[in-house]
């Protein structure tokens, strides 16, 4: 068994690691700061040092440098743990490619054909359920709008997403292949983020094509920034996914509260007239067949263009995981029925077993 020195300024992490390693039969020595740890390492000449790498200039960084620069410690290996936020067995900090290449020789090959067959079967079933595979019945769905914007921009636009259902649809149906081409507030859930963030994106990437994808609720929180856009002569394109609701909350009310909609129906202004009031182009789309011309009109207009997409009101994001449920109990898009576009929680196929 190995002689190991643990260096960590967190006493709880230190005790847990010492207990685990000692239980495995290793000789474990501990230090709570880099200076003491270095003295211990030089005196004991351990095979392994486990430490927590903090920011440059703090004890973890100086300890590693001292060990590397000491010829008498050439046989001592250092592993840097970065598992403070989430417990890990062995935390490793390093270049991802180099680290994986170093670990690969120790990975035994295995036959995963059965699991891969299962995945392919799931993919096939998901493709059948995907809204893109369903027949066009004349309804305008948010997923269609976002996927069409992706097609017409050839996936080369910088998309700034607001918060809500459209944020999930954007992730699903606008296929990003370039880095830093999606700007979103992520888990912060900042409604109203998209429009002002798009202004910043345009200044940062002046030659880029910028698209805002926002809901009718979030857009109203910061739509006064249209004044900034008009005054500064900024070119961005705005796609409002207008379903007349605070859609994310509405979906939960539909699925789990028997459509008892409270504080989710939205009263919105005429967004086309709002855009025109600022001297900007305003376009309204109510059918999918109008999308191509509207997107082209927005892209070729020298100024900012706003498109009000009047999408289906009770459209839902799939899949979703109910509160407290495991991933295998996710709610999936209902299977299509003959000549029927099924999109709401009214079809109880998704309902969990009691």
User: Tell me, what's the pLDDT at 342?
Assistant: 40
Does 132 map to a domain?
A: no
pLDDT band with cut points at 50, 70 and 90 for residue 258: very high
User: Is residue 291 scored above 60 in pLDDT?
Assistant: yes
Residue 147 shares a structural domain with residue 24: no
When mean pLDDT is compared across 41-50, 58-67, 115-124, the lowest value belongs to 58-67
User: Tell me, what's the pLDDT at 82?
Assistant: 58
The Cα–Cα gap between 192 and 161 comes to 9
The Cα–Cα gap between 136 and 335 comes to 16
User: Is residue 333 scored above 70 in pLDDT?
Assistant: yes
User: Tell me, what's the pLDDT at 347?
Assistant: 45
Averaged pLDDT, 125-150: 88
Residue 98 shares a structural domain with residue 30: yes
Residue 102 shares a structural domain with residue 151: no
Tell which residue, 48, 27, 32, 46, has the closest CA to residue 92. 48
The Cα–Cα gap between 196 and 208 comes to 16
Structure tokens at 231: 């005054």
Does 130 map to a domain?
A: no
Residue 83 shares a structural domain with residue 146: no
Residue 149 shares a structural domain with residue 62: no
The Cα–Cα gap between 297 and 286 comes to 16
First to last CA, the chain: 52
Does 121 map to a domain?
A: no
Averaged pLDDT, 121-131: 88
Torsion of CA 247, 250, 252, 257, to 10 degrees: -170
Where among 61, 87, 106 does a domain terminate? 106
Residue 26 shares a structural domain with residue 152: no
Residue 42 shares a structural domain with residue 189: no
User: Is residue 87 scored above 70 in pLDDT?
Assistant: no
Residue 200 shares a structural domain with residue 296: yes
Most confident of 39-53, 136-150, 199-213: 199-213
Residue 50 shares a structural domain with residue 155: no
The domain total for the chain is: 2
Digit-coded pLDDT (tens) for 26-62: 899 998 888 888 889 999 999 888 886 443 344 444 6
CA angle 263, 265, 267 (to 5 degrees): 110
Contact 53, 25 (CB under 8 A): no
Residue 142 shares a structural domain with residue 268: yes
Helix 34-44, helix 59-69: angle, nearest 10: 30
User: Tell me, what's the pLDDT at 160?
Assistant: 98
The answer, yes or no, to whether the previous bond of 86 is cis (omega within 30 of 0) is no
Averaged pLDDT, 297-313: 97
The CATH number of residue 216's host domain is: 3.40.50.970
When mean pLDDT is compared across 74-83, 103-112, 263-272, 318-327, the lowest value belongs to 74-83
Structure tokens at 73: 């410690």
pLDDT band with cut points at 50, 70 and 90 for residue 244: very high
Count CA atoms within 13 Å of residue 65 on its CB side: 8
User: Tell me, what's the pLDDT at 26?
Assistant: 87
User: Is residue 202 scored above 50 in pLDDT?
Assistant: yes
Contact 245, 256 (CB under 8 A): no
Does 341 map to a domain?
A: no
Where among 106, 127, 149 does a domain terminate? 106
pTM here? 0.69
**Mean pLDDT of the residues in the chain:** 86
pLDDT band with cut points at 50, 70 and 90 for residue 63: confident
Does 156 map to a domain?
A: yes
User: Is residue 349 scored above 50 in pLDDT?
Assistant: no
User: Is residue 318 scored above 60 in pLDDT?
Assistant: yes
User: Tell me, what's the pLDDT at 336?
Assistant: 73
User: Tell me, what's the pLDDT at 317?
Assistant: 94
Where among 106, 124, 149 does a domain terminate? 106
User: Tell me, what's the pLDDT at 34?
Assistant: 80
Does 191 map to a domain?
A: yes
Q: Pick the more confident residue, 138 or 348.
A: 138
Residue 187 shares a structural domain with residue 263: yes
The CATH number of residue 63's host domain is: 3.40.50.2300
When mean pLDDT is compared across 121-130, 152-161, 199-208, 241-250, the lowest value belongs to 121-130
Does 331 map to a domain?
A: no
User: Tell me, what's the pLDDT at 353?
Assistant: 36
The Cα–Cα gap between 7 and 9 comes to 7
Domain that holds residue 172: 137-310
User: Is residue 348 scored above 60 in pLDDT?
Assistant: no
Residue 159 shares a structural domain with residue 305: yes
Does 350 map to a domain?
A: no
Phi, psi of 86 (to 5 degrees): -130, 130
């Amino acid at each position: 068994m190995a002689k190991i020195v643990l260096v960590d300024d967190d006493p709880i992490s230190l005790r847990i690691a010492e207990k685990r390693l000692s239980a495995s039969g290793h000789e474990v020595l501990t230090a709570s700061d880099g200076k003491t740890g270095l003295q211990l390492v030089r005196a004991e000449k351990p095979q392994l040092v486990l430490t927590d790498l903090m920011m440059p200039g703090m004890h973890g960084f100086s300890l590693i440098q001292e060990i590397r620069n000491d010829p008498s410690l050439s046989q001592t290996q250092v592993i840097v743990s970065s598992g403070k936020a989430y417990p890990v067995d062995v935390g490793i900090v390093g270049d991802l490619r180099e680290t994986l290449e170093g670990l690969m020789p120790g990975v035994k090959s295995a036959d995963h054909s059965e699991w891969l067959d299962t995945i392919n079967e799931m993919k096939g079933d998901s493709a059948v359920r995907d809204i893109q595979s369903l027949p066009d019945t004349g309804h305008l769905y948010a997923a269609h709008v976002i996927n069409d914007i992706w097609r017409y921009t050839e996936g080369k636009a910088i998309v700034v997403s607001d918060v809500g259902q459209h944020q999930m649809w954007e992730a699903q149906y606008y296929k990003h292949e370039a880095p830093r081409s999606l700007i979103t507030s992520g888990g912060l859930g900042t409604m109203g983020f998209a429009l002002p963030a798009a202004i910043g994106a345009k200044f940062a990437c002046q030659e880029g094509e910028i698209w805002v994808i926002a809901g009718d609720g979030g857009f109203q929180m910061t739509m006064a920034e249209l004044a900034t856009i008009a005054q500064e002569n900024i070119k961005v394109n705005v796609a409002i996914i207008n379903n007349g609701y605070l859609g994310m909350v509405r979906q939960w009310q539909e699925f789990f509260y028997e459509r008892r909609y409270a504080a989710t129906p939205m009263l919105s202004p005429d967004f086309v007239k709002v855009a025109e009031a600022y001297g900007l182009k305003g376009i309204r789309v109510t059918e999918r067949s109008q999308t191509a011309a509207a997107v082209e009109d927005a892209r070729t207009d020298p100024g900012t263009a706003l498109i009000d997409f009047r999408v289906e009101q009770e459209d839902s994001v799939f899949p979703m995981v109910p509160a407290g449920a495991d991933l295998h109990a996710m709610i999936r898009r209902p299977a299509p029925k003959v000549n029927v576009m099924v999109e709401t929680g009214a079809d109880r196929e998704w309902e969990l077993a009691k």
